[in-house]
């Protein structure tokens, strides 16, 4: 099984911004943590991060993976184009947020991508990604 793990805008700045919300570990740390767990599960994870909406959409359109984990960052709340790209991919997909978007600013409480995802995990830090790939590994 091949899982694409996508991270949207500003997630490359993990460890450098709002450590009280996002923690002190870096994006590189996140990738290594996921790779380690994926190896244990016998699955392959590919990683893609971009600060540009169109690049995220183009990567989803590649359709060369079995499942998807996505943290769209701020695009979660307003990108109907990203939502539509996710809808095109018919495999299982899990939306992940490091912070609890429902307990933050009002504009962050709504996700326009949730309705086209298999499930959503929010507020569990990096553990949310691990839970997502474990769930997806069980979908084989």
State pLDDT tens for residues 97-111: 998 888 777 777 789
pTM: 0.94
61 labelled catalytic: no
Where does 2-133 show beta strands of DSSP type E? Answer: 2-7, 44-49, 67-71, 93-97, 119-122
Indicate which CATH number applies to the domain containing 72. Answer: 3.40.50.9100
Residue 21: count of CB within 10 angstroms of its CB: 11
Whole domain around residue 54: which residue ranges?
A: 2-137
State pLDDT tens for residues 41-90: 999 999 999 999 999 999 999 989 999 999 999 999 999 999 999 999 99
The SS3 of residue 71 is strand
Work out how many domains the chain is built from and give that number: 1
22, 61, 102, 129: the catalytic one is: 22
Ligand-binding annotation for 77, yes or no, is yes
């Amino acid at each position: 099984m091949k899982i694409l793990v996508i991270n949207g805008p500003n997630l490359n700045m993990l460890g450098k911004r709002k450590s009280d919300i996002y923690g002190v570990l870096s994006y590189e740390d996140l990738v290594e943590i996921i790779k380690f767990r994926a190896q244990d599960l016998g699955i392959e994870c590919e990683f893609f991060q971009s600060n540009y909406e169109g690049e995220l959409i183009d990567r989803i359109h590649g359709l060369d993976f079995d499942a998807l984990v996505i943290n769209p960052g701020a695009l979660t709340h307003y990108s109907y184009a990203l939502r539509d790209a996710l809808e095109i991919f018919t495999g299982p997909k899990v939306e992940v947020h490091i912070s609890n978007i429902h307990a933050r600013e009002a504009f962050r409480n709504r996700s326009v991508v949730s309705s086209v995802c298999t499930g959503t995990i929010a507020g569990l830090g990096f553990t949310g990604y691990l839970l997502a790939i474990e769930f997806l590994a069980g979908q084989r």
